Amino acid sequence: MFKLMSVASLALLCCLPCGNAQPSRETLNGQEWLERWPEVIKHTYMAGYSSGYQEAALMAQLALRARPSESKRIFDALKSRHDCQHEMTAGQEAAIVDKAIRGHPETWDQDLSGLVSNALWKACASRQEK
């Protein structure tokens, strides 16, 4: 009897419409980062972002083997960025992004991925200068 009720409940839940099932038509932007995201979500986003850069560096390394003349510049840039970010924690990356976005309210409407990338490129460049 319990198993039948569980299956019936699951079937009913699957048929109910989901209020937030449709994708948002807006892209994530700097204002949402500042106003809507708790710190734990920011840290999680940055951890995923950094993992993506690690994967990109590996892919660039494979491309370098296939077409050395075209890929070396890209690989060097990705490796430099990876080496810089590898030393940072997700919390540190989130703080860098938070500071960059807060300091430039004119960019709050821009796509979050671009804001994050710019903030981290600048942070890594300033680390290399020291």
pLDDT tens profile 70-108: 667 777 777 777 788 888 888 999 999 999 999 999 999
**Per-domain residue ranges of the chain:** 27-129
Two tokens at 17? 């419409």
pLDDT tens profile 34-62: 999 999 999 988 888 887 877 777 777 77
* Burial class of 31 by CB neighbour count within 10 A (0 to 12, 13 to 18, 19+): middle
| Cα distance between residue 49 and residue 89, in whole Å | 12
Contact 116, 49 (CB under 8 A): yes
Two tokens at 69? 């003349």
Q: Which runs of E-coded beta strand occur in 10-90? A: none
Contact 102, 63 (CB under 8 A): no
| Greatest mean pLDDT range, 10-14, 23-27, 46-50, 67-71 | 46-50
User: Looking at the predicted structure, is the pLDDT value of residue 8 above 50?
Assistant: no
Two tokens at 84? 């810089």
Two tokens at 127? 């680390």
| Cα distance between residue 75 and residue 70, in whole Å | 10
- Please tell me the predicted confidence (pLDDT) of residue 94: 93
| Cα distance between residue 20 and residue 37, in whole Å | 17
| Cα distance between residue 7 and residue 11, in whole Å | 6
